């Protein structure tokens, strides 16, 4: 029985391109590409200096147009997508909010577009790039902890940039056991295994608590004014963005500007998996935005969310089976997700709202976003309204009329 269970889980890990230890994080990302692509990696590795000296656009204009057809496997494609994503963001936002580039040159746009099609990702820097595939170990024999990890590519912002992406990565790592727990619940539901469902939910709850605990590291590694005034613009996209209202033209690919959202925590497959598992239905603009964010996830990860979404309703099952232990496990899970979202709200207020209001009072810095994105997320949402709405919708999923029958009694 245990062998069959492990085989079933392993089949899920393979089908949805996840690992038990790392969840949705790309395992052992490459840091090198075939020598043909050296110019891409040279630029990406030197990106901060080129941006700060305002030389990146000049260097990009001299780039050769390289064919992406020499990239032979998934990890090479992910590294190329990551490198071109960082270079593209640097190119667009090098001069800050007042002079964003309107056209992405063909030497960037054409290979980036083709690589994106092969991966099933959009041609913009996504959360799956900057967080899930942008890490390396300083000591390959050491543990995955923040002191032994570094970014493959970085933006201006120094330790704040490193801390922002590294802590986000560690939060995803904390989600891994919850993803496994979600799969266990899904399979236990098929055979109405109440104990299996309860154990899976407990695993998800523990994972959510660990995610919140890990998220608190942000305060040790990310400085609010540097995040808002230096880093944030480089993860901003060109959809629902007042700085690029018409979008970005991809030279040699599109005749009209393309509208794409920047990297956002809404692109985290883990959080959307937990929503799908717990049958938390986000509606109207919020639901439409979250559904659209799935287009920015690797296709296999997106498929897991959709698989969980079409399973029989866990919440309905629990409300009809009159089992108080199961109901308590479900409610604990929902409450932990509410807590995580409430903490996210407070963190956004510290790192976006407060520095944004200060920038408005003092005058906008040239390079930072200033007041342009004070109320808008990098993904294009109305930030605080969106976060409060998803938190409140999550809270409404709690089962208030609890069953009185316990399995123990």
Q: Mind listing the pLDDT tens digit for each residue in 56-105?
A: 999 999 999 999 999 999 999 999 999 999 999 999 999 999 899 999 99
The answer to whether residue 2 scores a pLDDT higher than 90 is no
Identify the CATH number of the domain in which residue 2 sits. Answer: 1.20.58.480
pLDDT at position 372 over 80: no
Confidence of residue 377 (pLDDT cuts 50, 70, 90): low
- In the beta sheet, which residues pair with residue 409? none
- Ligand-binding site membership of 344 (annotated): yes
406 domain residue, yes or no: no
DSSP state, residue 297: S
Q: Is it the case that residue 3 has pLDDT exceeding 90?
A: no
What percent of the chain is modeled with pLDDT above 70?
Answer: 91
Please indicate, yes or no, if residue 404 is contained in any of the structural domains: no
Provide the residue range defining the domain that includes 108. 1-397
Give the model's confidence band at 406: pLDDT under 50 very low, under 70 low, under 90 confident, else very high: low
214-254 pLDDT, tens digit per residue, is: 999 999 999 999 999 999 999 999 999 999 999 999 999 99
Cβ burial 160-181 (10 Å sphere, 16+ → b, else e)? bbbbbbbbbbbbbbbbbbbbbb
DSSP state, residue 230: I
Question: Is the pLDDT confidence value at 386 over 50?
Answer: yes
Q: Per-residue pLDDT for 32 more than 70?
A: yes
pLDDT, one tens digit per residue, over 322-335 is 899 999 999 999 99
Locate 324 and state its tokens.
Answer: 């108080």
Cβ 16 vs Cβ 301: under 8 Å:
yes
The predicted pLDDT at position 409 comes to 42
User: pLDDT at position 151, please?
Assistant: 98
CA-based nearest residue to 218, from 347, 353, 377? 347
The tally of CA atoms less than 13 A away on the side-chain side of residue 231 is 23
Closest C-alpha to 61, from 99, 109, 124, 120? 109
What is the pLDDT at residue 104? 98
405 part of a folded domain: no
Structure token digits, residue 270: 């883990």
403 located within any domain: no
**What pLDDT, on a 0 to 100 scale, did the predictor assign at position 401?**
74
Averaged over 30-49, what is the pLDDT? Answer: 98
User: Residue 22 pLDDT more than 50?
Assistant: yes
Q: Is the pLDDT of residue 402 over 70?
A: no
pLDDT single digits (tens) 114-156: 999 999 999 999 999 999 999 999 999 999 999 999 999 999 9
Say if 408 falls within a structural domain: no
Q: How far apart are CA 123 and CA 132, in angstroms?
A: 16
Give 281-319 pLDDT, tens digit per residue: 999 999 999 999 999 999 999 999 999 999 999 999 999
Q: Is residue 314 part of a domain?
A: yes
Q: How confident is the model at residue 398 (pLDDT cuts 50, 70, 90)?
A: very high
Tell me the chain's radius of gyration from C-alpha atoms: 22
How many domains would you assign to the chain? 1
Residue 370, pLDDT above cutoff 60: no
Domain contains 223: yes
Look at residue 363 and tell me if it is in a domain.
Answer: yes
What's the 3-state SS for 349-381? Answer: HHHHHHHHHHHHHHCCCCCCCCCCCCCECCCCC
Whole-number pLDDT of residue 403: 58
Measure the CA–CA gap between 281 and 394, rounded to whole angstroms.
8
Q: Residue 354: which pLDDT band, with cuts at 50, 70 and 90?
A: confident
Angstrom distance (rounded) from CA 243 to CA 314: 43
- Average pLDDT over the chain, rounded to whole? 92
From residue 261, how far is each of 162, 264, 293, 361 by CA, in Å? 22, 8, 8, 28
Label residue 366 by pLDDT band (50, 70, 90).
very low
8 A C-beta contact, residue 173 and residue 302: no
| Dist. CA 102–CA 339, nearest whole Å | 40
d(CA 244, CA 353): 21
Could you give the CA distance from residue 185 to residue 188 in angstroms, rounded to a whole number?
A: 5
């Amino acid at each position: 029985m245990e062998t069959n269970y492990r085989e079933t889980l392993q089949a899920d890990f393979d089908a949805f391109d996840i690992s038990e230890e790392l969840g949705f994080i790309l395992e052992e990302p490459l840091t090198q590409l075939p020598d043909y692509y050296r110019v891409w990696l040279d630029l990406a590795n030197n990106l901060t200096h080129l941006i700060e000296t305002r030389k990146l656009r000049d260097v990009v204009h001299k780039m050769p147009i390289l064919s992406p057809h020499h990239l032979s496997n998934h990890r090479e494609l992910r590294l190329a997508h990551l490198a071109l994503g960082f270079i593209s963001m640097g190119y667009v936002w090098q001069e800050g909010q007042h002079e964003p580039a309107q056209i992405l040159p063909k030497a960037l746009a054409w290979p980036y577009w083709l690589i994106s099609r092969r991966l099933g990702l959009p041609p913009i820097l996504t959360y799956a790039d900057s967080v899930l595939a942008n890490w390396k170990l300083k000591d390959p024999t050491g543990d995955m902890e923040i002191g032994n990890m570094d970014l493959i590519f970085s933006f201006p912002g120094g330790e704040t940039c490193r801390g922002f992406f590294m802590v986000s990565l560690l939060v995803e790592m904390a989600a891994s056991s919850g993803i496994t727990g979600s799969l266990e619940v899904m399979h236990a539901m098929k055979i109405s295994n109440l104990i299996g469902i309860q154990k899976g939910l407990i695993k998800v709850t523990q994972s959510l608590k660990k995610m919140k605990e890990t998220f608190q590291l942000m305060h040790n590694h990310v400085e609010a004014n540097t995040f808002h005034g230096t880093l944030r613009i480089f993860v901003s996209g060109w959809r629902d963005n007042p700085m690029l209202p018409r979008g970005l033209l991809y030279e040699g690919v599109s005749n009209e500007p393309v509208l794409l959202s920047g990297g956002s925590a809404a692109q985290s497959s883990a959080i959307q998996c937990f929503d799908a598992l717990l049958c938390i239905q986000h509606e109207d603009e919020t639901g439409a935005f979250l559904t659209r964010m799935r287009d920015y996830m690797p296709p296999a990860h997106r498929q897991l969310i959709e698989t969980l979404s079409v399973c029989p309703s866990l919440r309905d099952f629990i409300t009809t089976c009159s089992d108080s232990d199961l109901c308590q496990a479900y409610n604990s899970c929902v409450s932990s997700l509410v807590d995580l979202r409430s903490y996210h709200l407070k963190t956004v207020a510290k790192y976006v709202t407060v520095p944004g209001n200060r920038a408005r009072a003092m005058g906008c810095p040239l390079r930072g976003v200033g007041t342009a994105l004070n109320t808008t997320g990098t993904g294009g949402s109305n930030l605080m309204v969106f976060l409060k709405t998803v938190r409140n919708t999550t809270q409404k999923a709690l089962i208030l009329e609890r069953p009185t029958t316990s399995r123990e009694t």
